[in-house]
């Protein structure tokens, strides 16, 4: 049996986001964010995919699972103790912008919100766990959406700058790993979550989408520069949703099509944030769609100066493309599109399981950018069953993770510089795309059901003990 080796100091851990776990949505002077007004269940997915959402809470019509999350806001000590028991070196979490600036445009930060994260970081450090913090994870203040139109408005850059300065100054001695925007390129498929606005039905989507991206790129560079200045020993990365694109067959037309989709979806944002330049290929797209980006003098220089230190990315699946899809079945459930890959099996939500694709992704990203990589999300959303004796035998999750961890080890042997691995939803939480609790990713089960019932009790799954051994053996015991 092959022994897998990971470098000394490899950053093993788990990943979460504030809006999907904290709950306490109105406590500590917190304001409403986008996730707070998204209903759970089937409605959410259709809202994310279609234009015209108005960001109003309709309490009579929908349920809002993110309001309670898994109550990490009150139970963080218990949860962090469990992460420590697994041996986490790092814990990826996000700061809810609305805890710090409830409406996004206040002049001073909210002390209660700042103090909450002080307590969380202190608790992590008590066990020697380093926080990895996403600055913005689908959590824009609703006020900025309604009053300013989200990232399409340049003023939001100023509000974001105020927010990042507040958190860098406050946590400069507590947080050394940062990331700017979660899955920034997801704005191409889910502008509501990624870019903070809903396209109106009659509106052309490209102009506002790419204008909003430009503002995010400027904001990202401002954050990178501020971070380097305020916390010189910190590292700050971008975060992209990466799904390698395969051509369905060897027809050169399809190969070219797959390449175009790959560049457009996987590389457009990373090219700007890592290389500090808009890539050449996007110009043709802009021209063909009459897109003209409104830029201020100095924006391009700023983007060049504010390049990130590493690439954080999520990897769940690959995508298979063909120019003419008419005769083929779509890969169901996969928000990023594509057709069914005959070589792959899929999860219960139709996400195709492809560990080799992670090795391909790591190699492709490293070949292109030559900066350290960090797999900050990966995992299997699955239905879990609690047995009568209380045990949860999630062997399917172990199989999934084992395959992906092996793929990382292979890519390290290939020469890739990989910093660490934080598997997604290390504790069960609310699903981002569907708002469900039943789509579980965790090593730790949380008794919370789709109808909102449950005691919130935490239980260790089989994978909890397995991951503990993986970390203790630095990846040798898989």
261 is catalytic: no
Select the residue interacting with ligand BGP from 170, 439, 440, 460 (CB under 6 A).
Answer: 439
Nearer to ligand BGP, 235 or 422 (CB): 422
Q: Under a CB-based contact definition with an 8 Å cutoff, are residues 269 and 342 in contact?
A: no
User: What string marks each residue from 231 to 250 as x (binds ligand BGP by CB under 6 A) or -?
Assistant: ----------x---------
Of 139, 143, 168, 137, the closest CA to residue 155 belongs to 143
Of 462, 438, 266, the closest CA to residue 349 belongs to 438
Nearer to ligand BGP, 226 or 269 (CB): 269
Beta-sheet pairing, 245-247 with 458-460: unpaired
Catalytic residue, candidates 123, 262, 321, 377:
377
Select the residue interacting with ligand BGP from 93, 282, 392, 432 (CB under 6 A).
Answer: 432
Total binding residues toward ligand BGP, as defined by CB under 6 A: 14
Nearer to ligand BGP, 21 or 409 (CB): 21
H-type alpha helices, 289-354: 299-305
Select the residue interacting with ligand BGP from 139, 183, 261, 428 (CB under 6 A).
Answer: 183
Burial 1-12, CB ≥16 within 10 A → b, else e: eeebebeeebbb
CB of 374 to ligand BGP, least distance (A): 14
Q: Please report, for the chain, how many H helices and E strands are present, in that order.
A: 16, 14
The single residue listed with the structure tokens 């710090």 is 100
CA distances from 145 to 33, 105, 148, 222, 369 (A): 9, 11, 6, 21, 33
Ranges within 356-415 binding ligand BGP (CB under 6 A): 377, 381
Indicate the DSSP class of residue 262: I
Q: Is 195 in the site for ligand BGP (CB under 6 A)?
A: no
* DSSP three-state, residue 377: strand
Stretch that binds ligand BGP, among 28-36, 227-235, 426-434, 448-456 (CB under 6 A): 426-434
CB of 435 to ligand BGP, least distance (A): 9
CA distances from 43 to 310, 436, 462, 471 (A): 36, 11, 33, 39
Nearer to ligand BGP, 33 or 431 (CB): 431
Catalytic residues: 377
Q: Which residues would be at the binding site for ligand BGP (CB under 6 A)?
A: 17, 20, 182-183, 241, 314, 377, 381, 424, 431-434, 439
């Amino acid at each position: 049996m092959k022994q897998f080796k990971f470098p000394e100091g490899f950053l093993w851990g788990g990943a979460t986001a504030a809006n999907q776990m904290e709950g306490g949505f109105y406590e500590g002077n917190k304001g409403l964010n986008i996730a707070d007004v998204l209903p759970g269940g089937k409605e959410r997915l259709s809202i994310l995919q279609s234009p015209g959402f108005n960001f109003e809470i309709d309490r009579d019509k929908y349920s809002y699972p993110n309001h309670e999350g898994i109550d990490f806001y009150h139970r963080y000590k218990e949860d962090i103790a469990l992460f420590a028991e697994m041996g986490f070196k790092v814990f990826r979490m996000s700061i809810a912008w609305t805890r710090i600036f409830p409406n996004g445009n206040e002049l001073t930060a909210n002390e209660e919100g700042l103090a909450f994260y002080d307590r969380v970081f202190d608790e992590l450090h008590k066990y020697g766990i380093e926080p990895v913090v996403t600055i913005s994870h689908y959590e824009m203040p609703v006020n900025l959406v309604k009053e300013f139109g989200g990232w399409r408005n340049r003023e939001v850059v100023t509000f974001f700058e105020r927010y990042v300065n507040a958190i860098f100054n406050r946590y400069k001695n507590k947080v050394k790993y940062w990331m700017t925007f979660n899955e920034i390129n997801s704005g191409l498929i889910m502008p509501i979550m990624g870019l903070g606005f809903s396209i109106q039905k009659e509106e052309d989507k490209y102009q506002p989408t790419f204008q909003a991206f430009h503002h995010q790129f400027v904001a990202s560079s401002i954050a990178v520069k501020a971070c380097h200045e305020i916390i010189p020993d910190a590292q700050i990365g971008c975060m992209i949703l990466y799904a390698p694109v395969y051509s369905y067959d060897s027809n050169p037309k399809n190969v070219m099509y797959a390449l175009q989709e790959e560049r457009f979806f996987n590389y457009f944002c990373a090219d700007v944030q890592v290389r500090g330049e808009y890539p050449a290929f996007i110009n043709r797209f802009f021209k063909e769609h009459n897109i003209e980006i409104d830029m201020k003098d100095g924006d391009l220089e700023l983007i060049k100066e504010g390049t990130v230190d590493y690439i954080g990315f999520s990897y769940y699946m690959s995508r298979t493309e063909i120019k003419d899809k008419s005769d083929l079945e779509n890969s169901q459930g996969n928000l990023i599109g594509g057709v069914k890959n005959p070589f792959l099996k899929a999860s219960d939500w139709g996400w195709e399981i492809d560990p080799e694709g992670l090795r391909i992704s790591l190699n492709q990203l490293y070949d292109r950018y030559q900066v350290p990589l960090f797999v900050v999300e990966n995992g299997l959303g699955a239905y879990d069953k609690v047995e009568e004796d209380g045990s949860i035998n999630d062997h399917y999750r172990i199989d999934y993770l084992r395959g992906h961890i092996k793929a990382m080890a292979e890519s390290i042997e290939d020469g890739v510089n990989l910093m660490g691995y934080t598997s997604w939803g290390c504790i069960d939480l609310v699903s981002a795309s569907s708002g469900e609790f039943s789509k579980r990713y965790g090593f730790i089960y949380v008794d919370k059901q789709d109808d909102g019932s449950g005691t919130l009790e935490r239980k260790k799954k089989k994978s909890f003990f397995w991951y503990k051994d993986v970390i203790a053996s630095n990846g040798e015991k898989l």
